[in-house]
Amino acid sequence: MTSSPPSASQAGDRSASQPEGRSRDRSVSELVAAARGGERRATARLLTLVERGGPLADEVAERAWTVLGGGAGATDGNRAHVIGLTGPPGAGKSTLVAAWTTRLVEQGHRPAVLAVDPSSPLTGGAILGDRVRMAEATAAGVFIRSMATRGHAGGLALAVPGMVRVLDLAGFDPVIVETVGVGQVEVDVASAADTVLVVVTPGMGDAVQANKAGLLEVADLFAVNKSDRPDAADTRRDLELMLDLSDLTGHGRTGAGTGPRSRPSIISTVATTGVGVDDLATATDAHMAALMADGALAGRREDRWRAEVRSHLDHLLLDASRRAVAGPVAGSLPESGSPAAVARSMLGQMAEQLLADPTGGLPDGPTGQGGAAAEGDR
Amino acid sequence: MNDPGDLTDPTPVRVVLAKLGLDGHDRGLKVVARMLRDGGMEVVYLGLRQTTDTIIDAVEQEDADVVGISMLNAGHLTLGPRMVEALADAGLDVPVVIGGIVPDEDRPAMAAAGVAGVLGPGASADEVVACVRAAADTRG
């Protein structure tokens, strides 16, 4: 919406280009060229590669940066308007996105949606149900990709920016990242956007609840969905009150490097009938226009870029820490003593040693205070 | 390894599950979705009243490994082969597994039409997961 239309063909992606060969057999550069030419299958394959991580994901990232880099203000390599959308389960996020993106297609845009649902922590499997609510959008030509959070430490935060970049290079704009607003990572992922939309519904609690939830602090815009319900006015009032308090304390309305954020608009919507969807689209565009007008967009994108580097670092550290403690324990654990004291002294020291030398394996038993106490007890 | 993240498959099988046509009985499909999820797969659930076109759209965008369709209304002899053909016509090398009511005497016809697997009533969760995994493996 903020960039000129891409070279990719606007319509008829399915029939436009049959792939030369099976997408699995094509190189990253061939896939990137095909994706830029509007071939959806190649885009989907690139998304898979990024999601899996590893050397091929790095290669995709490198190509994407080459293609997208150098755009005005695009310090994180994005040209598309990246919109994060989050909210509690059952708020109507998918239905709202479906109505919204269908409208965007009618207006000549090429929206894509990355819909994130949780994986089972026990089996790693997931049921990704967003498409059920988005049949209309699929028929209109919206590109929808479902994604599970998967279990890898920090993997989601790592994969999503790369996948957004793939959708961007394929010419989709805007790119909407939809997550369930439970869990810090899911909220963080949706918050790493140019515009953050939080969907709430009536009947989810009073003004105290509205102040409690960290979810609400990340919003640039609110949609009060299901606003045909009788208590919708209460929900709206509670949100206004919360925002009044934010204005009063000045807290939660600034982000590092982004400068002061304007007071979020609140849009009333009924996703199932399309009420308020145009208002939502207008408010989202207005937010982006304001970001560009006051120069905040570059700052926001730089924040995002820093957060992405941090995600890579977190991933490396978590991975190293998991491997560091995976080996056998060489020393014996103390037989007596306060478990809390032992935990503090011994485990803390082990962690420090591992931090200094992550490849050294688990230290050979306690060496400090905890160890001395254990010796004394014998 | 104690991290739950390590138990998961880094490249889980991705399955598109749908009811093809007008058959409105989706309980079986929901049960299968849960079985596959608990078998560590990622299920892209499309639900009721899908067409070969909407399934192909989903397979394409989701980069799916397998298509699972459920049929309880005796449509399998018509729609099963049609789904296989539609995927082939679209250049998608993705196997189709059919679940539901398929009489034994129709199984050879299903196999001849290129349907990768047939799951009937009473199939255990292990059988369902094994059948879909075997189909995914044929994709190479």
Q: What is the pLDDT of residue A16?
A: 40
Q: Which residue has the higher pLDDT, A52 or A359?
A: A52
List the single residue in A with minimal CA-CA distance to B30.
A127
Mean per-residue pLDDT, B73-93: 94
List the single residue in B with minimal CA-CA distance to A154.
B5
A293 touches B: beta carbon within 8 Å: no
CB contact under 8 A, B12 and A150: yes
Q: How far apart are CA A41 and CA A91, in angstroms?
A: 31
| DSSP state string for A293-362 | HTTHHHHHHHHHHHHHHHHHHHHHHHHHHHHHTSSPP-SPPPSSS-HHHHIIIIIHHHHHHHHH-TTS-S
Q: What is the pLDDT of residue A249?
A: 76
CB contact under 8 A, B8 and A47: no
- Topology of domain A78-311, per CATH? Rossmann fold (3.40.50)
Q: Which residue has the higher pLDDT, A313 or A137?
A: A137
Q: In which band, very low, low, confident or very high, does the pLDDT at A363 lie, cut at 50, 70 and 90?
A: low
Q: What is the pLDDT of residue A330?
A: 53
Q: Which residue has the higher pLDDT, A209 or A173?
A: A173
* CA distance to partner chain A, nearest, from residue B104 (Å): 30
B39 touches A: beta carbon within 8 Å: yes
| The dihedral sign for the CA sequence A83, A185, A60, A303 | positive
Q: In which band, very low, low, confident or very high, does the pLDDT at B5 lie, cut at 50, 70 and 90?
A: very low
Chains A–B, number of C-beta pairs less than 8 Å apart = 110
* CA distance to partner chain A, nearest, from residue B9 (Å): 7
CB contact under 8 A, A143 and B9: no
* C-alpha A257, offset from chain centre: 19
Supply the mean pLDDT for chain A.
80
Q: In which band, very low, low, confident or very high, does the pLDDT at A218 lie, cut at 50, 70 and 90?
A: confident
List the single residue in B with minimal CA-CA distance to A128.
B44
**pLDDT tens sequence across A266-309:** 999 999 999 999 999 999 999 999 998 988 888 888 888 888 88
**pLDDT tens sequence across A90-128:** 899 999 999 999 999 999 999 999 999 988 888 889 999
Any idea which of A81-85, A89-93, B5-9, B61-65 has the lowest mean pLDDT? B5-9
List the single residue in A with minimal CA-CA distance to B63.
A44
Q: What percent of chain A has pLDDT over 70?
A: 75
Helices (H), B39-96: 52-62, 76-89
Q: How far apart are CA B119 and CA A254, in angstroms?
A: 56
- Three-state DSSP class for B51? coil
CB contact under 8 A, A122 and B93: no
* Straight-line distance from the first to the last Cα atom of chain B, in angstroms, rounded to the nearest whole number: 29
CB-closest option in B6, B36, B46 to A131? B46
List the single residue in B with minimal CA-CA distance to A35.
B61
Q: Which residues of A touch B10 (CB under 8 A)?
A: 52-53, 150, 152
CB-closest option in A19, A128, A143 to B42? A128
Q: Which residue has the higher pLDDT, A24 or B22?
A: B22
ipTM of the complex: 0.92
Mean per-residue pLDDT, A1-18: 41
Q: What is the pLDDT of residue A13?
A: 42
Look up residue A192 and give its two tokens: 């790493």
* CA distance to partner chain B, nearest, from residue A40 (Å): 7
Q: In which band, very low, low, confident or very high, does the pLDDT at A252 lie, cut at 50, 70 and 90?
A: low
Q: How far apart are CA A87 and CA A176, in angstroms?
A: 14
**pLDDT tens sequence across A308-331:** 888 888 888 887 777 777 766 555
* A139: pLDDT strictly greater than 60: yes
Q: Which residues of A touch B61 (CB under 8 A)?
A: 40, 43-44, 143-145
Q: How far apart are CA B136 and CA B94, in angstroms?
A: 8
CB contact under 8 A, A145 and B62: yes
Q: What is the pLDDT of residue A195?
A: 94
CA-CA-CA-CA torsion for B96, B98, B103, B109, nearest 10 degrees?
-10
* B57: pLDDT strictly greater than 90: yes
Supply the mean pLDDT for chain B.
91
Any idea which of A168-172, A279-283, B8-12, B26-30 has the lowest mean pLDDT? B8-12
* B61: pLDDT strictly greater than 50: yes
Q: What is the pLDDT of residue A75?
A: 55
CB contact under 8 A, A14 and B6: no
CB B136 within 8 A of CB B97: no
* CA distance to partner chain B, nearest, from residue A209 (Å): 31
CB contact under 8 A, A14 and B45: no
Number of CB atoms found within 10 A of residue A282's CB = 12
Most A CBs within 10 A among B61, B62, B92, B126, hence the mutation to make, goes to B61
A218 residue type, one letter: V
Q: In which band, very low, low, confident or very high, does the pLDDT at A214 lie, cut at 50, 70 and 90?
A: confident
Q: Which domain holds residue B93?
A: 13-125
Q: What is the pLDDT of residue A216?
A: 78
Q: What is the pLDDT of residue A14?
A: 41
Q: What percent of chain A has pLDDT over 90?
A: 42
Number of structural domains in chain B: 1
For A185-199, give the secondary structure using H, E and C. HHHHHHHCCCEEEEE
Query: Is B83 domain-assigned?
Result: yes
The owner of tokens 């606003």 is A227
Mean per-residue pLDDT, A341-365: 69
All structural domains of chain A with their residue ranges: 78-311, 333-377
* CA distance to partner chain A, nearest, from residue B24 (Å): 14
Q: What is the pLDDT of residue B56?
A: 97
Q: How far apart are CA B108 and CA B130, in angstroms?
A: 20
CB contact under 8 A, B39 and A125: yes
Q: Which residues of A touch B44 (CB under 8 A)?
A: 128, 131, 146
A18 touches B: beta carbon within 8 Å: yes
Task: Give the CATH number of the domain where residue B91 resides.
Answer: 3.40.50.280
Q: What is the pLDDT of residue B140?
A: 58
Q: What is the pLDDT of residue A101?
A: 97
* A15: pLDDT strictly greater than 60: no
Query: Is B92 domain-assigned?
Result: yes
